[in-house]
Structure 1
Amino acid sequence: MARGPGPAARAIAAGTLSALVLTGCSSGEQTVEGPVTVYLSLPLTGPRAVDGKDAADGARLALEEAGGRAGNLEVEAEFLDDSSGSAAWDPVVVGQNARTATQDSATAAYIGELDSEPTRTSAPITNEAGIVQISPGAGGVDLTRTAAGYPDAPDRYRPSGDATFARVIPADDVVARAAVSLAAEDALTARIVSDGSLYGDLTAEEMTRAAGGAGLGLPPTGKVD
């Protein structure tokens, strides 16, 4: 049986539609002339290929349902792979993808990346060019506001001084608090573990703080390889 688009695909579809609405409107006296291009940078190969292809399918569906248009504008999609070999994502490729979008005068929006770490690479590039970037899966708190462990965030992702990044999922700290709240409400036996990465450690710290605030006693944070 064929597998339908998953949650990531639905998220990217919503993000794509948001970008199309933004770019399909006139801004003040300036009118955008089509056709315009929306670039999508996703892991189409490698260990995250399933999620990346789901997201790409969602974007194609969104564009098809919109008739390939945003208002009176014709919209085209360009799909770029941000992975290489066995890596979930490649920082060099991510940078190249973002620069490809910025060098195209027809670019209206950039959809990507699927995770927070590669988004930290592409966001400053698209921001400096004034291009709207929407991520379907980057929940890093630092991408939109100050966060422990990330000095100068979110300004480091906004060299232009303007905010041009958005996402269609909750930030990681919101997810952490929701998980702890669920465990507390259902009296679940839980333990917080980290994979030892900066992201894992910061998320574990956020969940530990949330657990303390909820009066939920948990064992010390564990580590997993």
Structure 2
Amino acid sequence: MKRFFSLSSAATLLAIGLTAAPGAFAASPQIIKIGFAAPLTGPSAADGKEMENATRLAIDDANRRAPKLNGQPVKFEIDAQDDQSDPRIATQIAQRFVDTGVAGVVGHFNTSCSIAASKTYSNASLAEISPSSTGASYTQQGYPTTFRVVGQDAIAGETLGRYLLDSLGAKRIAIIDDRTDFGQGLADRVEATLLKNHGKIVAREYVTNKTIDFSAVLTKIRGTNPDVIVFGGFDAQAAQLVRRMRSLGLKATLVGEGFNNNIFVDLARGDGEGTITIQPGLPADKLPASDFASRYEARFKTRLQGFQAPYAYDAATVLLNAVLTAGSAEPAKVLAAVKASRLKGVTGPLAFDAHGDLANSPYTVYRLKGSHWDGIKILNAAQ
């Protein structure tokens, strides 16, 4: 049925609006942008998308509490950008964030991208909080704007090296890295820890993060008869590496950091059984906020595949809380509030040391059994 609205009715409503008491109409909230940068296309797109979703979830939660700055309503929004795991593009995105006036940045995913963008953020006093960049050099540049909510590789490498000797009982260890800031940083620290503790390193080899065929390097290593091969690199390459190991008859255990998601499982296609990975933080079922996965899945109608999402949520939470604590979206004031953060996150306590590293970061060791990663040991690097 059609409804008719007369001109006289409209005039009456207009008159009511003009004579309404001050404050009868709520002021539009100020929009505050939070930058987000990660690979949303390419081999690491699944990780990047989960991190983006988690950042959105944190923003949803903050907006649900009707936030205000100086008594005025505000609304947080995400400015999500795809850095394609490319440091050059990451630098361009960093400048975009500076130019458009975001309050802070959640990102980047790759250590190389976080490092490439960090000078731009530092020049603008813009806080950069990475949920996943574990390369030690990221926070060792001397910039006051670099932070992360996960452990870093100087600690991870030492922790992994001790685990290989003390728990796994490794006797003959080969090491391969992909020459990235992450991969080489992890491998170098594992090597240093093994040498310090009299571990036997039978080979030290290198590939690139573009290597597809690992035949040559593995054929060379096979002659050293290793019982463990440590790989400093990302999960997609690790999966191809372990498949080639099996086809060449290498029975060694593959060990690394950050393999425990379905990308590795799918690409390894059954050849990765027994692979061991160390991961910053606690297993999902041991997180302080045990309902995070179920809330994520209810919001986005998909299951979590990787480990980064709760860390992205926490990185966003630190920024959102810093804006409200500072009473301002001005980057320099937000940065000061980030430095002073003392929060209980979904992953655990959130506080930073003088370098911007997480003050306390446990690690979990996982072993692949079939298509499932079993958390087999929790190691607290702070002890």
TM-score by length of 1: 0.69
Equivalent residue of 1:74, what SS?
strand
The aligned counterpart of 1:203 is: 186
**Structure 1 residues 166-209: Cα deviation after superposition (integer angstroms, max 9, x where no partner):** 01111111110111121122133362422351534443222111
The one-letter amino acid of 1:120's match is I
* Alignment counterpart, residue 58 of structure 2, candidates 59, 62, 71: 62
Could you tell me which runs of 5 or more consecutive residues in structure 1 were left unpaired when the two chains were aligned.
Answer: 1-32, 84-88, 146-153
Q: Following TM superposition, by how much is the alpha carbon of 1:70 offset from its aligned partner in structure 2, in angstroms?
A: 8.3
Distance in 1 separating the partners of 2:206 and 2:145? 36
The one-letter amino acid of 1:128's match is N
Q: Following TM superposition, by how much is the alpha carbon of 1:68 offset from its aligned partner in structure 2, in angstroms?
A: 5.5
1:215 aligns with 2:198: yes
Would you say the 8 A contact 1:38–1:109 is kept in 2? yes
Same amino acid, percent of matched pairs = 22
Would you say the 8 A contact 1:69–1:75 is kept in 2? no
Q: Following TM superposition, by how much is the alpha carbon of 1:218 offset from its aligned partner in structure 2, in angstroms?
A: 3.1
**Structure 1 residues 58-77: Cα deviation after superposition (integer angstroms, max 9, x where no partner):** 11111222236684242111
The aligned counterpart of 1:81 is: 82
Equivalent residue of 1:131, what SS?
coil
Q: Following TM superposition, by how much is the alpha carbon of 1:57 offset from its aligned partner in structure 2, in angstroms?
A: 1.3
TM-score by length of 2: 0.42
1:181 aligns with 2:176: no
Equivalent residue of 2:169, what SS?
coil
Would you say the 8 A contact 1:204–1:221 is kept in 2? no
The aligned counterpart of 2:113 is: 118
Q: Which has the higher strand share?
A: 2
Equivalent residue of 2:35, what SS?
strand
The one-letter amino acid of 1:76's match is E
Could you tell me which runs of 5 or more consecutive residues in structure 2 were left unpaired when the two chains were aligned.
Answer: 1-28, 69-73, 208-213, 215-383
Distance in 1 separating the partners of 2:128 and 2:65? 19
Would you say the 8 A contact 2:135–2:185 is kept in 1? no
Distance in 1 separating the partners of 2:119 and 2:62? 29
1:39 aligns with 2:40: no
The one-letter amino acid of 2:99's match is Q
Distance in 2 separating the partners of 1:130 and 1:46? 30
Equivalent residue of 1:58, what SS?
helix
Pick closer, same or farther for the CA change 1:192–1:206 going to 2, 3 Å: farther
The one-letter amino acid of 2:205's match is G
The aligned counterpart of 2:139 is: 144
Structure with larger Rg: 2
